[in-house]
Each structure stands twice: as C-alpha cells, then as structure tokens.
Amino acid sequence: MKGGVAYGIDFGTSNSSIAVAFADGSTHVIGTENRAPALRSLVYLNRDGNRLTGEDSVRAYLTTATAQTACSRCSLVDHTRYGTYTTCVQHRSGGSCRDSRLLAQVKRDLSSDHLDRTNSWTRDYRFTELVAVILKRLKKTADRSTGQDIRRVAIGRPVRFPGVEADPLRLQALAEERLREAAGIAGFSHVQLVPEPQAAVTVEGISDGLVVCTDFGGGTFDVAVLSKKNNRGTVLALGGAVIGGESFDSRLFDLKVRPALGVDGQAGAAKQLGVPGWLRAGLNSLTGCQQLLRDERVGPVLRDLSAHGGRGVAEALRELLYGGQAWACHQAVEQAKIRLSTERQARITLRRLPHLDLDILVQRSEFEQSIRSELSKVEACIHETLARAGVDPDQIAYVTRTGGSSRIPAFEAMLHSTFGASRVVDRDAFTTVVTGLARFAYAEWASSRPV
Ligand SMILES: Nc1ncnc2c1ncn2[C@@H]1O[C@H](COP(=O)(O)OP(=O)(O)OP(=O)(O)O)[C@@H](O)[C@H]1O
Ligand SMILES: [Mg+2]
C-alpha cells in the first residue's frame, strides 16, 4: 500500500518545504507554490485578521503595504467627551498605523529571549503562532495531496538557531521547544527535530566512508561530519554558524544601495545632517525597514533632511519606507546576488520615478570581497567541526553542498581548496534536506501504528 506514513518539513529562514514518506519507503517532495517545492517563509498579517504565507503573502502585501488607518478614525480607539480610550500600544494623538505587515525571518524569532510575541492592532501574535501559519499551510497542502491527515513529522533544526549566542544551551532549547509548540498548533501530534545537515546525508548516492555535509541557507550555515556505512550515517560532530544568504543581502545593500540612496553622505546633505546610525542600519533588511516604519523618530529626521538641503535623500527614503518599496528593493538586491553566482556582474535595478531611481552595477568580485570575513568564519566552522570529529580534511571521502547560499562561487572555491574539487558533490539546493527528513520520518515511524 502506498499510504503516507509521516512528513518531513524543512522550515527554513527563507524557504520552507514538505515531503511525504510512503509506507513502501519512497518519498515525494510536495509542490507548495505553483508546484514549486519551496514556500517563502513569510507571514502576512492584516488588521482585518487575515494571515497568509508564501507568494500569497507577497501579493497581499503589495496591494496593502501603503494602506493605513489614522488613530483618530480607528475602530480600536474609543473617542468620548472625557477622553480617548484604547488598548492599542501604537496609538498616538494625530498618529496612524499600517493596515498590514509582512514578516520575514520568523525562524530567527524563535530564540528571542526577551520577547515571545509581537503586537499589532491591539493583538498579540506569539512567535509560535506565526511559525504555525507556515507549518499549517505546508500540512494542508500535503494533506490535500495525500488525501490523509498525517500528524507525524520530522522537522529540521539548525545546529545553532540564530540569536542563541548569548546563552547557547538555554536559548537553543527554548527555540526547539517553541518549534515543537508551533508544530502542535499546526496540527502535528508526533514531532521529531533533526539537525539539518544530518538530514542532508540520508540521501543516497554516496559510498561508505567519512562524509562532510554542508547546508548553507538563508539564515545559517550548518555542517555535519559523519561516518557512513551500509547506507547509515553516524554523526561524529555537528557545527553551525549564524551566517546565511539574508546577511549577504544586507552586505550587498550596504555596499551598493545605501551609498546610492545618499544616506552615507555621498550626496552631501545626509552626512552634514548626520542621518542617524539607527536609521542607516535599519534600511539593510526587510525586517529593519518594517521596524523603521513603526518608528516615530523617522518622520522628524526626514523632515529635517528635507528642510536642510537633503530633499532628494529624504524623498527616496520616504518612497522606500512609506511608499511600500522596501520589499521590491530588497528583492532587487537578492536577485542581483543570485545572478552573481553565475554571472561576473549584475545590476540592482529599481525605478520608481521621480524619487527612487536605482540602477547599480555590481561585480561578483566586490560582492565576494564584502562577505569575505563571513566566509572565513564559515571555513573556520568547518575546520573546528572536523577537529571535534577527530578527522583531517584529507580523510574525507565526500563533501556535499546544499542550500541556496552554497551556490556562491567563493564558497564552492573554499570547499575545493580545503577538500579537493573531485570530492565535492552537489546536491539539489532546495530539496535535499526535506527529502532526508522524510526518510528520517520513515525510519522513525514506518513500523508504528497510524495515528
Ligand atoms: N544561486 C544562488 N546563489 C546565491 N545565493 C542563493 C542562490 N539561490 C538562492 N540563494 C540564497 O539562498 C538563501 C535561501 O536558501 P535556502 O532555501 O537553502 O535557505 P533556508 O533553508 O530558507 O534557510 P536556513 O536553512 O538557513 O534556515 C536565500 O538567502 C537566497 O537568496
Ligand atoms: Mg535550510
């Protein structure tokens, strides 16, 4: 019988995917967006209660990003002759707020020590609920495909969640507990968490011997050193670093877009007036831009700039933040970065005339230079993990690379120089981990009774 036994879910910082393990031991990656394997790990929230993920969230956000409600007309505020009453923490006299939010990097929030929720429109959204929006959508799509309600799942986890540096053991445990809770909210009753690089090795096609698996994604770099025998891998050591494609997008933004916007002072006015560091720093990620949108200090800074000869800079920033162009801008940066993996140069283009007109040429060499120190840390992480496993690079039979950021030529070159090009094997960037997780789920539950 080819009934589904369990699912594997790769819940990624940028992309998430699901695969089913069937009773006959086969696995299948289920198409989630127009049959593509990966769903973008984004969550859209609207004040009307609507919650979306994947491309739907982007589409919804593009049409509602600039819509806002003035506090004076907001249904969440009671205006009486004795005063104004509301439980909205964003309420300000004469203020307003956006009707929607697009949240990226919800995986990162799982390890947040001081916060477990975000608040909008008088509602608290717990991080576990937000992650559950993504997991629920994956489960629903997969259940529709299998015609079953499958409640067993193996979910990948990074060796080190982003944000755990301050107290690694405790915060890693906290993030894992929250991930399990989110899976419960999404309808799973049996949950196993599996280190992502370990999942990446369960895929066939590698002969016995010592194997290094690298998974370089949007949020983290993960590595496993395994001893493989009779198609089973024994983990000798795991390692991880909080370095990934999303930080590379920020580096590229800082390198090329920020100067072009004039906020670094090339245009003169911004420097003389001193665009505050917090504003400059916030621009380089979508999450940072969302925070700036909610930051009351931004308006006065832009007004000051306009009044003191920095009108062009202020208008460009207004268009970027309040004109709803932050998403398009960060997409343009990411796309250019991806093109640089195959081309020697690429352009970051965003034309929203008259205020925003970016058409910037970037060379692969300058991009790779800007991420050099991060790649050195990744290299150090590999060596440190090998050392903990007690093996030398020349004892390694194979090195596999998977994850979107593993396509960066400088990373590939580093693996080649450490291990020799002939030992580096490519694995599909986006389906290797999820396939391994489904195989793990099969091994775990194939012989147990259905739930
Ligand atoms: N060809 C490419 N060259 C460079 N980077 C790429 C390429 N394709 C995708 N990326 C980047 O890879 C990242 C997404 O990779 P992936 O889907 O493996 O990450 P993830 O699983 O969501 O994240 P993580 O595992 O770190 O939580 C994004 O930052 C994306 O920009
Ligand atoms: Mg991943």
9, containing H or E segment: strand 4-11
**Which residue, by CA, sits nearest to atom 19 of ligand 1?**
217
pTM equals 0.90
Q: List pLDDT tens digits, range 26-82.
A: 999 999 887 778 899 999 999 888 999 998 998 888 888 778 887 777 777 787 777
To test ligand 1's pocket by mutation, which of 10, 11, 14, 430 has the most ligand atoms within 8 angstroms of CB? Answer: 14
Residue 21 sits in which domain range? Answer: 4-198+433-445
Most confident of 228-242, 282-296, 383-397: 383-397
Do the domain assignments include residue 237?
Answer: no
Domain boundary among 356, 371, 394: 356
Task: Give the start-end residues of each E strand in 295-450.
Answer: 345-352, 356-363, 398-402, 424-426
Task: Check residue 88 and give its pLDDT.
Answer: 67
CA distance 428 to 431: 6
**Is 334 near ligand 1, meaning CB less than 6 Å away?**
yes
Q: List pLDDT tens digits, range 244-281.
A: 999 999 999 999 999 999 887 654 555 566 688 899 99
Share of the chain above pLDDT 70, in %: 95
Q: List pLDDT tens digits, range 355-371.
A: 899 999 999 999 999 99
Q: What's the gap between Cα 405 and its chain centre?
A: 12
> How confident is the model over 160-180, as a mean pLDDT?
93
Domain boundary among 356, 377, 405: 356
For the chain, what is the mean pLDDT?
A: 89
CA distance 117 to 125: 5
What number of residues does the chain have? 451
Q: For residues 270 and 126, which has the higher predicted lDDT (pLDDT)?
A: 126
> How confident is the model over 155-162, as a mean pLDDT?
93
**Is 12 near ligand 1, meaning CB less than 6 Å away?**
yes
Any idea what the CATH number is for the domain that residue 103 is in? Answer: 3.30.420.40
CA distance 153 to 21: 10
> How confident is the model over 394-401, as a mean pLDDT?
93
Structure token pair of residue 24? 């006959």
Domain boundary among 338, 356, 374: 356
Structure token pair of residue 186? 């999404």
Q: Where are the alpha helices (DSSP H) in 211-363?
A: 245-252, 258-261, 269-273, 277-282, 286-293, 298-307, 311-321, 326-339
Q: For residues 74 and 315, which has the higher predicted lDDT (pLDDT)?
A: 315
pLDDT band (50, 70, 90) for residue 239: very high
Task: Check residue 101 and give its pLDDT.
Answer: 86
Structural domain count of the chain:
2
CA distance 322 to 172: 36
Q: Identify whether residues 12 and 142 lie together within a single domain.
A: yes
CA distance 144 to 94: 48
Beta bridge partners of 192: 154
**Is 406 near ligand 1, meaning CB less than 6 Å away?**
no
Q: List pLDDT tens digits, range 202-227.
A: 655 667 889 999 999 999 999 999 99
Give yes or no for a contact between 352 and 319, defined as CB atoms under 8 angstroms apart.
Answer: yes
Q: Identify whether residues 67 and 153 lie together within a single domain.
A: yes
Q: Identify whether residues 11 and 114 lie together within a single domain.
A: yes
> How confident is the model over 319-332, as a mean pLDDT?
89
Q: Identify whether residues 192 and 277 lie together within a single domain.
A: no
Q: Identify whether residues 69 and 136 lie together within a single domain.
A: yes
CA distance 312 to 223: 46
Q: For residues 274 and 300, which has the higher predicted lDDT (pLDDT)?
A: 300
Cα 5 to ligand 1 centre (Å): 29
CA distance 25 to 206: 18
Do the domain assignments include residue 387?
Answer: no
Atom of ligand 1 nearest to the CA of 219: 26
Atom of ligand 1 nearest to the CA of 402: 18
Q: Identify whether residues 342 and 270 lie together within a single domain.
A: yes
**Is 53 near ligand 1, meaning CB less than 6 Å away?**
no
Give yes or no for a contact between 198 and 176, defined as CB atoms under 8 angstroms apart.
Answer: no
Those residues with Cβ within 8 angstroms of residue 293's Cβ, 6 or more apart along the chain or in another chain: 98, 321, 322, 326
Distances (CA, A) of 327 to 42, 59, 244, 294: 12, 11, 19, 16
Please check the confidence at residue 308 and state whether its pLDDT lies above 80: yes
Give yes or no for a contact between 17 and 3, defined as CB atoms under 8 angstroms apart.
Answer: no
Distances (CA, A) of 435 to 197, 283, 417: 12, 36, 29
**C-alpha closest to that of 250 among 361, 337, 372:** 337
Do the domain assignments include residue 15?
Answer: yes
